[in-house]
Amino acid sequence: MLKEIGGAALLGLLSLLPAAAVPVAAVPEAAIRATYLCQGRFDAVRLTALFFNAEPREVVLLQGEQATRLPQQPSGSGARYGAANQSFWLKGDQATWQFAAGATYSCGPESVGAAGAVKRR
């Protein structure tokens, strides 16, 4: 025969279970988001960077509909992220975005003016 158990009694029974038996939901890490205006030799692009500071430290670069994940690399100054085909190097609020094919972009923070026009700081 089954008996109805009240909320307090149920909580009391749950507290008797070992900690490993009660699953704990993983808490997703919050990313630090920054938007840059990057100037290349012939063009300018808007780049969004999502910085994840928990291990493994990495940045996800979003440009148009493309996303690129770059792990953090050792750096003597600033923060450097890179993989075989590209790197993203920060110092203060300025960044350099380089590709193995030779293209280099100089990036700075983006701000929005009163009329909604994008301006470089």
Residue with more model confidence, 20 or 28: 28
- Report the DSSP beta bridge partners of residue 95: 90, 107
Q: What is the pLDDT of residue 27?
A: 55
Please give the torsion angle defined by the CA atoms of residues 30, 61, 70 and 88, in that order, rounded to the nearest 10 degrees: -120
Half-sphere exposure of 108 (CA within 13 A, CB side): 6
Q: Rounded mean pLDDT of 2-10?
A: 39
pLDDT, one tens digit per residue, over 28-81 is 668 999 999 999 999 999 999 999 988 899 999 999 999 999 999 998 888 999
Domain ranges of the chain: 32-120
Mean of per-residue pLDDT scores for the chain:
77
Cα R_g (the chain), whole angstroms: 23
Amino acid (one-letter) located at 7? G
What confidence score (pLDDT) does residue 8 get? 42
Give residue 30's pLDDT. Answer: 85
Indicate whether 119 pLDDT > 60.
Answer: no
Report the range out of 12-16, 18-22, 72-76, 114-118 with the highest average pLDDT.
72-76
- 110: confidence class by pLDDT, cuts 50, 70, 90: confident
Select the CATH number that applies to the domain covering 32-120 from these four: 3.40.50.10470, 2.40.128.200, 2.60.40.3080, 3.30.360.10: 2.40.128.200
Task: Please state, in angstroms and rounded to a whole number, the distance separating the CA atoms of residues 75 and 6.
Answer: 58
pLDDT at residue 28, as a whole number? 62
